[in-house]
Amino acid sequence: MEQNEQKRPRIVVMGSYVTDLMGRAQRIPVAGETVKGDLFKTGPGGKGGNQAVAAARAGGSVAMITKLGADVFGDLALQNFDNEGIDRRFVIWTEAYPTGAALIMVSKETGQNSILVIPGACENLTTEEVEAAMSALLPADILMLQLETNLEALEQSLRMASESGLKVMLNPAPAQEIPQEFYKMIDFLTPNETEASTLSGIEVVSIERAKQAASVLQNQGAKNVVITLGEKGALALDDEGQFYEVPAFKVEAVDTTGAGDAFNGAFALALAEHKHLVDAIVFANAAAAISVTRIGTAPSMAYREEIEKFLFENSAK
């Protein structure tokens, strides 16, 4: 068992945990409208938590750095980390803030969603807490980050990773500007169309525009840029200036919530296994495709055997 554990890529996730409160209706209501729903679920979520689960299920040895409130949602988080085999030694408790929550509305008609995130405790990670956790968890294969925590905690983890030579993957979600000096510490930047548009100033409405946005982000310092394009797949720009267009797998989507997290978690695992950039994206696309055929976020993440089976079955198509 110990030998197998040593062979698994070591992935550190510094990011958010929130509890998802998901409601589904035939369609998402517009402003001022009430729509009757047909399903409600509560479960583990947050971009950091979701991506940690995705990476662990895909085969990684994952450690989580986050902050929880001393409440029932915090208890749910710890139970989830234990169930998924995620190292939670550096999950910090606080009575000053509640555990974060996300209010999610899902359209039964399209599978699309609208989300309101209240980060709560995880937005109040301190640089000292991050420094202690990172010091204990290094060395590792890759550090996975998002933007649902505060920028001070993000910067601390970025700088420590950069100084130690640890590969860094940043999923810049939710969309917001980040300091210019952060880019040069990012090995893999993984925005979606909206996030790429926000960061680059170029509206990503086509593959050509995605290439322009990726070039801008690389010029700002990010070594590799992968823009996820939903059902169109992904556009990648590697550190040698080569573009790659990687198509998505066609599936019947029932809930797209968490698809980006499924992609990012599996992508980080594939990179930690030293897969070629394109092969890593294909692996991540498969994980995302599986996730959208299920309801929920963290619970919808795919296991390694499912991803490999999916890839085998779709390789002949």
Residues 6+ apart with CB under 8 A from 151: 178, 179
What span, in angstroms and rounded, lies between the C-alpha atoms of 260 and 267?
10
Determine phi and psi for 75, rounding to 5 degrees: -60, -40
Nearest to 80 by CA among 98, 102, 94, 62: 62
What span, in angstroms and rounded, lies between the C-alpha atoms of 51 and 49?
6
Query: Kind and range of the H or E element at 196?
Result: helix 193-200
Q: Is 292 helix (H, G, I), strand (E, B) or coil?
A: coil
For the stretch 14-23, what's the b/e string if a residue is b when 16 or more beta carbons lie within 10 angstroms of its beta carbon? bbbbbbbbbe
Looking at the DSSP bridge assignments, the partners of residue 22 are 41, 104
Burial class (CB in 10 A: 0-12, 13-18, 19+), 279: middle
What span, in angstroms and rounded, lies between the C-alpha atoms of 238 and 185?
15
Longest CA–CA separation in the chain, Å: 57
Residue from 20, 187, 238, 261 carrying the catalytic annotation: 261
What span, in angstroms and rounded, lies between the C-alpha atoms of 154 and 9?
22
261: annotated active-site residue:
yes
Amino acid at 277: L
Show which residues are catalytic: 261
